[in-house]
Structure formats: C-alpha cells, structure tokens
Structure 1
Amino acid sequence: MIARILITLGVMIFAVVVPALEINSSHVFNSEWPPHARFHEVWQLTTNCGVGVLCLWLAWAKNNIKLASTLVIIVMGGALLSHGIENLYGGSIVSGNISKTFLGLELAAAAACIAILMAISAVLLEGKHKSPAKS
C-alpha cells in the first residue's frame, strides 16, 4: 500500500502540479512564445498526464510497482536531464525571474528528485513485501 501511495505522490507532481503551474499566461498562453513552442508545451503536458494515468493504473489495478516506478523515473529524470543540459540549448528550469530553492536545488529540480526517490523507494518497499518463490 505504501508503495502505491509513493507512486501516486510522484505522479501528482508531473500530472497535476506541473500542469496547474503551466496552463497560464507564463507558459501555454504566453503570447511571446512561438505557436510551435506552445504546441510542444501542451503536447508535453498531455503526454505526461497520460503517462501519469498509466502509472496509477499499473500501480493500483495491476500492482506493477516496478513498471509504474520506471515510468515516473523516466518522466522526472527527463526533467532533470533537461535541466542538466540547459546550457547546451539556452533553456532554464527557472520560470521568469522567480528562483526558489529547496535543499540547495531549484524547486522544480528538487521536486523531480523527490519523485524519483519515491519511485525507487516504492520498488524497494514492494520487493521487501514479496516473499521469494518457493520451489
């Protein structure tokens, strides 16, 4: 049960919190962004929401904690990778002039790390609860 809750919390970061923060005039409706950039933003948000629904289904209906966790790690790891290489493409994890840190990291990077740690913890917890197969 705890593993499923950890997956759910990780999914909420990218499938609920991020869209809530980005469906506004600073991102999706930002008139200064080229239309194609806004298209990619909406594509990313809808894809992540779909992956989030899949993760929840895998965790709660199919009890497939490993695959659900892997998907959380892929989505949030992608955010961390994008942050790590942002100097290569002129991007920034910081939105506008607002920079907030948590545990020494930009808030978005910290949230991604927390989601990844929750997904890893879910797999480890689930592994402890499953007994080895008897021959």
Structure 2
Amino acid sequence: MIVLVQVLFTISILSFALVAAAADLNRTHATNPVWVPHARFHVVWQVATHIGAGLLALVVLWAPVASLPARFAIAGAIAGVVLVGFFVTAATMPLYGGELADSNGYRPLTLDIAGRTRTFDQNVLLFAGGVGFLLLAGALALTL
C-alpha cells in the first residue's frame, strides 16, 4: 500500500513537473512568436520552477530522508501549492484579463458524451487530474 500511495503522489507531481512542462516548452508557449518576449520569459521561469518543485517533491517522497508520514505531507504540500495555484490563477482571470487557452495554442478538447457535445479545457483536465491523484494519495496515506 505504501508504494501505491507513492505512485499516486508521483503521478500528481508529474502532471505539473513533466506533462505541463512539455506542453509549455514549445511553439504554443515558450517560443510562440505572437507572445511578447516578457511573457515567454515568465512561462519558462514558471516551468523551471515547477520542474524544480517537482524534483524536490519526488526526492522527499522516495528518499528515506524523514518518517513516511512527514515525507507524504511535505511532498503533498509541494504538489498542492503548485496544483492549487493553477486554480487560484484561473479563478482570478477577470482581475488581469487572463484566459485559459490561447487561440494559437492548445485547443479545448471536444467530446461527445451521451449524444451531447462537451468542451473541456485541456489545462483544467490536466490539473484537475493532478488534484484528483493528490487527494486519492492523501486519503490512502491517512489509512496507513
């Protein structure tokens, strides 16, 4: 059960430290010629910070540097700060004129569900999944 909890935490961490990083370090974001250079600087800085935070969380999670409950709590807190930060940023978009997607970037995902077309932002899906794995890992960790 301990390894399952570690794997679930790892999936949550990789959602922002690997998957989101790969999505941002390409022509849709970091090298997007339509973006102003300072915005590109900030996205690369954000990605570098997320990768660093993810690596720190993974080391704490997997290396025997403290008690297991402490390792789970610290790794979970690091992941939670990054993942919840996404939703705080999304919730405050009206304050700074932000949008979840860029017209020359990743398009929303369109699915046919029970005969109805549904549209989902890919960022929201990724980070909601990360939060879901984080909550599941935390819940299981509490049973140990």
Shared fold by TM > 0.5? yes
The alpha carbon displacement at 1:128 in A equals 0.9
Aligned to 2:136: 121
Aligned to 2:47: 45
AA partner of residue 62 (structure 2):
W
How many matched pairs?
A: 129
TM superposition score normalised by structure 2:
0.80
Give percent identity, aligned residues only.
29
TM superposition score normalised by structure 1:
0.85
**For the residues of structure 2 that align with 1:36 and 1:44, how far apart are their CA atoms?**
12
Residues 47-126 of structure 1: matches in 2 within 5 Å? 47-61=49-63, 62=65, 63=68, 64-96=71-103, 98-100=107-109, 105-126=120-141
**For the residues of structure 1 that align with 2:84 and 2:120, how far apart are their CA atoms?**
15
Aligned residues of 1:4 and 1:60 also touching (Cα < 8 A): yes
The alpha carbon displacement at 1:117 in A equals 2.2
AA partner of residue 15 (structure 2):
I
Structure 1's unaligned 5+ residue stretches are 130-135
The alpha carbon displacement at 1:104 in A equals 6.7
Residue of structure 1 aligned with 2:38, choices 32, 36, 39: 36
Deviates more, 1:15-24 or 1:96-105: 96-105
